[in-house]
Amino acid sequence: MKFTEDHEWLRVEGDLVVVGITEHAAEQLGDVVFVELPEPETMVTKGDEVCVIESVKAASDILAPLDGEIVEVNGKLTDKPAMVNTDPTGAAWFFKMRVEDMGALDEYMSEDEYADFVAG
């Protein structure tokens, strides 16, 4: 997996990139009560606001980590937003995207680099 400074994780599955938030981000948010997901087939540019997460503490945006197309969203989060707190790096993924340049993943942090970033 790769990690962004915005506390998102990116996992390659075949020709798609799966995007979610890290355990650290989930802990910082507190109890998640609402998730607004993008529409499939949406074209996004790196940095675009793609999702909104609301918790008892705050609202936060998930930004597109790469240029590409949203091809699938995790509809389970709409009904069970608390999954973000219980399994942030597994079942609580937000969306899958087909990216224009898989090489762009190289600019993101490895797991060790992310751990140092969070500890920093």
- pLDDT one-digit tens code per residue, 69-116: 999 999 999 999 999 999 999 999 999 999 989 999 999 999 999 999
Taking the C-alpha atoms of residue 71 and residue 21, their distance in angstroms, rounded to an integer, is: 18
Whole-prediction pTM: 0.95
Confidence category of residue 118, pLDDT binned at 50, 70, 90: very high
The number of distinct structural domains making up the chain is 1
pLDDT at position 120 is 86
Is the pLDDT at 61 greater than 90? The verdict is: yes
45 in a domain, yes or no?
Answer: yes
- The mean pLDDT of 22-45, rounded to a whole number, is 96
- The mean pLDDT of 14-23, rounded to a whole number, is 97
7 in a domain, yes or no?
Answer: yes
Report the CATH number at residue 82.
2.40.50.100
